[in-house]
Every structure is written in C-alpha cells, then in structure tokens.
Structure 1
C-alpha cells in the first residue's frame, strides 16, 4: 500500500507515480464474492444511470434542430429558428454549473449515492414533461417559455450527474483498474446519444412528417419515464463509495468544498482543468449535435440517414471507450487525454473536407473517424484524469466545477458559434473548423501543464 499523502495533495504539485492505496483495503471484511457483486452493481449503476441521463439531455439536442425550431419558434426564418432553438439548448449548459456547485457540495458532504438518485429523478421528470408540452401554435409564447424552464431543470440536474457517476466508479475501483472503471460512465454518454438519435430515426421512419411533428417526437421523451424508474432502482442498490466512507469516518469532509477548489493549492489545477476541457466539449457538441443540423441544412443530406450515421459513430465510441480506459491504466490519464485531444485537432480539417463531398458514405466515415475513434481515445481517459486533480473530500465539487463551468463555452455555445461562423462565410466551414482547432490547441497546452495528483483515497 502506498504511503498516505497530506490532505492538500501532493507536496510541491509533483506527480506521484504510484496508483495509491487499494480501495478494497477500505472494506477489509468483504469476501471475494461480495467484492465482485459490489463491483458489478457499481458498473451497472454508473453505466445505466449516465446512459439515461445523457439520453434525456441529448434527446433535447437532437430535437432542437429537427422539431423545436419549427414547433416552438415557428414565426422565425429557418436560420433564426435554429439559432433560437440552439440558444435554449445552450441555456442547459449555463445552468449546469449551478447544479454542479449545489450537488457537488451535497455529494462531498453527505455522499455520492443519495446525490445521484436525486439528480436522476429531476432529469427524468423534466424530460417526460417535455413530451407533453403544448406547441407555439397551441399556446403561443407560453410554449417556448415552458420549454426553457424544463431545459433549466435538465441542466441543473445534469450539473451534479457526471462527477458523481465518475466518482461512483473510480472510488469503488480496484487499484490497478481505475482508468477502466473511470471510462464506464463515459460509455453511458455514447450509449445515451446513440439511443436518442436511434429512437428519433425510428420514429421518423414509422411516422410521416406531419404525424412526427404532431406527436411522434413526443414518444422519445415519454420513454424517459420507464428508463428513469429502472435506473433509480439500480442506483439505490449500490453502496456508498469506500473513499467517501473513509473520509466521513475520519471527519475530514470539507465544510465549504467550493472554497477549497478555488483556493491554493487547488487553484492551478482548477484553472488548467477548465481549459483542458475546452477541446473535448467543442468536439462532442460539434460531431454529436451540430453535425446533424449541418448535414441536413448545408449538405442536403436526409435526416434519418444522418441520425443513423451519428448513432453508428456513437456506438463505435461506446465499444472503444473501455480500451481507452485500459490505456489510461498503462500510460496515465494525462498522457492518454493529451494524445487524444491533439489527434482531434489534427483531424478537424480533413473531416470537414469529407463532409464537403456531400456523400452520406464519406460523412459517416468522417464521423466514425473523429467521433467514434478519436473522441473515444481522450473521452475514456477524461473522468479519471479530472478525478486526479483533487483530493477525495472536495473531489465531487472539483470535478463538477471543471466539467460544468467549462461546459458553458466548451459545449453549450459551440453549436451557436459554428452556426454563426458558417453563416458569416456563406456556408463555408473553414473558419468554423479553425475555431475547433484553436480549442484543441488550448486544451493540449493546458493538459500538458496540469500537475496530476495521486488518486489516493
């Protein structure tokens, strides 16, 4: 077992090469059978929970460009309607930091398990209610207002989801498998996106355009009720993480986690973490959200095949994420994350060139390359990498701050920025591509400057 470190982290900010003490040592009375059962439950709770949460969140993203722009902003031009629809999409990211701070505080004070159960209920209720919202044609301006309010609830709930799901997996993980376990919640994001786009593709196939816009799209949102019930039950079965139990037993919980995250010695890693996330956030929302609208409006491709292409790329990502986790266990999270972000920056222009062929085949190839393969490389390492920035007692808040505050500019504004840049260049994507390369370069520099902590518990 590694020597215990001070509460404030690694002296001098240097990296400790050891993986830290074995989490299993914190549950010494556990039999091998009980250990395996615990880990299976953890995997199920992390994977199923994040799949449902991201299905709900990105279901809105898909609907923003296909449904909401006409059903909730019908008096605007197609371009302005899409911008307004993406603006409400961005609002979810603006609210997520508030949820991150609130649920991060709760998670660092009372534990990860109960906090995650609450976030799932809030997300599920908001998504299901979207499925019964009246349109602008029925209630006028009230419709987009109600849509905006429910999007705010979605963003607030998701603000506390990602960090908790990552910690549920990482803080339960065996000593030499923290990278693999940290990739599990990331698989949920890929599966959630694939599930959401697949459901929309099926519904658009089953219903004609009029029926789909009238009521077919609502089915995708109402399905959330079933998924949330299943996920909630599974999460109630998981134990609190051994790491948090140990901190709680030693009365080391932080009174104000946010203050410790913002002040030295954590200030440096917080700032660098916010910048390191920029490339990942812009990448995901380009390939998983913006590409759908770009392909159907600028490239003239059909909606259903485009949704299928995104689903295929997301499915490839889901398959490859565990391999990224294994690489993380061998080469450290920072190395894998930095390599993946750099590869993304190099791939942006070639992929947009493939998109420019206006061929569905090459569009799919480009998406699979940059979204299914390259994105999987760094996204699988991201959870463990960010977890290595903070000590246990403020880790939930720290991860939430880095992930959710960066989400405002790295994720939520990306579709708006790209839409505006392409509109300003008469449909040419190269200025928009340059913006994406810039975000990748910033993230590479910030990641290189991060001083990893040992994942001690």
Structure 2
C-alpha cells in the first residue's frame, strides 16, 4: 500500500540536518554533564565526601534527569500529538538550552554551600524534562518525512547525534584540558564550565535549522483526516501497552552501553586505574567516530534486510561483550581499555542503528509521539540511569567483575524484546491508525 501524503514542503536533506543537529545537541548536553559528573563534580560539588561517596553523589545528580524524563516524555508527547512535531521540538530545544548553560554558571559548594548541589539537581531535572521529548520528536520528524523504503537511512540521523556528541564533548574537554591543564586549579575552578557555555552557540544553530522545517506531511494528513485525539496517552495505553514495554526493552542495551561507557567506566578508569582525563577523552572521541560508522551501516542495511535482523545481531554481540568489558579494562593496559570502550560503541551502534525507524513504525500516527517518547524514556530510566548509579555499589559489594553481567543482562533483555516485536520495514505510517 502506498502512503498517500501531501508532498513534503521541506527538502529531505534539511530534515536530516535538523534531526542530526538537534539530536547532537541533546546528547552533547547529556554527555558533557555525564563526563563532568564522573571526573569533575565529585571535587567541585561534593568536596566534603570521600572519593567513593562523592562519586555516588555525583552520579546521582546525573541519574536525577532520568526521573524527570518520563514526565517530559508524557508532556511533550501530548503536545506533539496534538499541536505538531515541529513546535514541540522547538520547545524542547529552548528548554534544554536554558538548563545546560545554567549548569555552567552554578557556583562551587565552597562558595554557596549545600545550595550548589541542590541547584545542580534542579537544573538537571529541567534538562531531563526537556530531553524527554527530544529523541522521540526527532525520530518522528525523519520517519514521517522519509520515503518508506529509506526510513532506516534517514532515521539514522537522530542516532548519529549520539556519536557526534561524543566526539564534540570529548574534543571540547580535551581542548580545555590542553589549554589550561586538566589538573590545574583553573580547570576545577572554571575550565570545566566552558563546554556547558559553548553549548549556547550550538543550540542557536540547531534552533535556526529547526525553525526552517515545516510540519511533517504525515501529521498534517492525519490532522486533516481525523480529529486530533483529546487524550493520546490514554488511547495509547489502551491499545498498545505491549508495544511500549517491548519497544523500551528493545533499546535497553544501547542505553546501558552508551551511558556506562561515557560515565561510570570513565570514572573507573580515572579513579581506579589512574588514566589521565585527556587519555579518557581521546578514547571517547574515537568511540564516537566508531559509533557514527556502525550506526550508519546498520541503519542503512536495515532498509534492505530488516530492522529486527540488524538489532538482533547487535544485541547478540553485546551480551558477550558486556562480560568482556571489565576484564579488558582491569588488565591495566590502556590499549585494552580503548578496545573495550570502542567495542561497546561499535556493537551497540549495530543494535541501535535501526531504532530511529523501528520505534516510530510501531505506533499509530494519532499517538506516535507519545508512544515513542514513553518507550525511550522508560528505557532511559532502566538502561541509562540505573546502571551508572548502581555500578559503584555493585563494584564495592561484589567486585568489579559483577558489572559485566549487569550489562549482559540488559543486552539480553533487548534481544528478547526485539525478537518478540514484529518486523516493521516497509510499514505504511498511515495503517493501523
């Protein structure tokens, strides 16, 4: 069945660029916070705590954003399904900009006491609320514009934002480190703030691009065909609860690999193995480049061989790799640390690549924004927030080896969830509404 939609007003290349830039900003904001939380914030905001407790407290502020992400997903999902994808995406971007730049302006605990970490948590909650609607809106923008036979190819641009952000955040921290020195008082006093303040420029570029995008033709056609749903989330929960849970499960592996590689494992390498921050950031930049390559390869192939097949391949590889990561890192060999992190980026990229098309294709147009947002944010809580938060406790209680099975179990959950979902390649985005 051919999709009968009005011809897109916005060129597909501009849509792809808007998805890439906006997604890169979202992931950049999250990654620079995660990097700072792992390597800087324990000293800046929790100086009175021991190194272990300071790290746990710092990672708790990182995880706090995932508490507000589902709330943001529900709120922006509602708006996206009622007023449109474009307006909602502009709102998420502006809110994210205010929160991220403000993090770079928070005084140290030594200056204003306990108010500093409290302000940090408040801003992090705002950041999470905004991010809750960003990923879903971005993948919908590309999916609802792209030709059915090229949805995987164009859906990848939102996923490419993750790798692009890893490169940008790592290079930004590296630049600051080489300029003023990673162990200098200046770096801990104000140098770490530069990546947060720089995001204002990046967000201005993304906002300019997004404002030049028209509403998606699929949403316009749906709005003309049927009344806008009064309660899209209620309708979604009544008709597609199973898809929400399984869609969330199908991306747990990618979430856990991405956030563990860029938060807990960087802290582990620095605190436990003594690797310099500069080395860790260099590995992060390399991992970002590898992620870009494998996401693009997997997403493009998914238009030929199917979304599920590529996802199952990726998650099947993540299970044994999850068990190998800590033993490789614990060798104390810097080269093997790089292999562990880059391997996570490569295999995780294979599993994640098709999801920019796969997740939107699971849900009906009337509540597609809400369904995609709830699924990705549920996965964010379980796969993005919890692993970095509890990894320190798991390590202290059972030893570092126990972190690997946690990663493997999450990857296995993604494999099973993807297996239980239908193939969506070639899906008519108007069918089943």
Are 1:100 and 2:73 matched, yes or no? yes
Q: Which of these residues, 238, 258, 283, is aligned with residue 284 of structure 1?
A: 258
The one-character-per-residue Cα deviations of 1:327-371 (angstroms, maximum 9, x if unpaired) are: 110122122112211111121222322212212112112222221
Q: Distance between the aligned counterparts of 1:356 and 1:223, measured in 2?
A: 35
C-alpha contact (below 8 Å) 1:389/1:452 kept by paired residues: no
TM-score (norm 2): 0.95
Moved more, 346-355 or 196-205: 346-355
Contact 1:281 1:407 in 2 (8 A): yes
- Rounded to whole Å, the distance in 1 between the matches of 2:19 and 2:245 is 27
Deviation at 1:267, TM superposition (A): 1.7
Give runs of aligned pairs for residues 14-25 of structure 1, distance below 5 A: 21-22=2-3, 25=4
CA contact (8 A) 2:254 2:349 kept: no
Q: Deviations over 1:243-271 (max 9, x none)?
A: 1011111124322111122113x122112
**What is the match of residue 359 of structure 1?**
333
Task: For residue 429 of structure 1, report the CA deviation from its aligned partner.
Answer: 2.3
- Residue matched to 1:110: 83
Identify the match of residue 168 of structure 2 among 195, 201, 206: 195
Shift of residue 291 of structure 1? Answer: 1.5
Partners of 1:71 and 1:273 lie apart in 2 by: 38
The yes-or-no answer on 1:177 pairing with 2:150 is yes
Instruction: Please give the alpha-carbon distance, in whole angstroms, between the structure 2 residues aligned to 1:452 and 1:387.
Output: 12
Does structure 2 conserve the Cα–Cα contact (< 8 Å) formed by 1:301 and 1:358? no
Corresponding position of 2:217: 242
| Residues 379-404 of structure 1, C-alpha deviations (whole Å, 9 max, x = no match) | 11112111122111111000000000
**Within-5 A mapping of 1:201-280:** 201-208=174-181, 209-264=184-239, 266-280=240-254
Task: Provide Cα deviations, 1:390-434, integer angstroms capped at 9, x if missing partner.
Answer: 111111000000000221121111111211111113xx4221111
1:167-208 per-position Cα deviation (integer Å, ceiling 9, x unaligned): 111111012100111111000111112211221122112113
Alpha-carbon contact 2:63-2:385 (below 8 Å) kept:
yes
Pairing partner for 1:53 from 18, 22, 26? 26
1:429 matched to 2:400? The reply is: yes
CA distance in structure 1 between the partners assigned to 2:142 and 2:171 by the alignment: 27
Q: Is the 8 A contact 1:324 1:377 kept in 2?
A: yes
8 Å contact from structure 1 (residues 300, 358) kept in 2: no
Corresponding residue of 1:157: 130
Partner Cα distance (2:400, 2:294) in 1: 28
Q: How many residues align?
A: 426
Q: Does 1:63 align with 2:36?
A: yes
Instruction: Give the corresponding residue for 1:345.
Output: 319
Q: Match for residue 74 of structure 1?
A: 47
Give distance in 1, aligned partners of 2:209 and 2:248: 32
Q: 1:451 & 1:381 partners in 2: Cα distance?
A: 14
Q: 1:5-40 CA deviation, whole Å, 9 max, x = no partner?
A: xxxxxxxxxxxxxxxx34xx5234x7xxx7xx6111
Q: Report the CA distance between 1:452 and its aligned residue.
A: 4.5
- Distance in 2, matches of 1:171 and 1:316, equals 28
In structure 1, the partner of 2:140 is 167
Alignment of 1:269-418 (within 5 A): 269-371=243-345, 373-418=346-391
**Distance in 2 separating the partners of 1:325 and 1:276:** 15
- Check whether the contact 1:306–1:360 (CA below 8 A) recurs between aligned residues: no
The CA distance in 1 between the partners of 2:362 and 2:245, in whole Å, is 11
Aligned alpha-carbon RMSD (Å): 1.5
TM-score of the pair, normalised by structure 1: 0.90
Partners in 2 of 1:141 and 1:204 — Cα distance?
Answer: 27
Unmatched 5+ stretches in structure 1: 3-20
Deviation at 1:311, TM superposition (A): 1.2
Q: Contact conserved, 1:56 with 1:224, CA < 8 A, in 2?
A: yes
Deviating above 6 A after TM superposition, structure 1's stretches of 4 or more consecutive aligned residues are none
SS at match of 2:77: helix
User: Is there any run of 5+ residues in structure 2 with no aligned partner, and where?
Assistant: none
Q: Secondary structure of the equivalent of 1:413?
A: helix
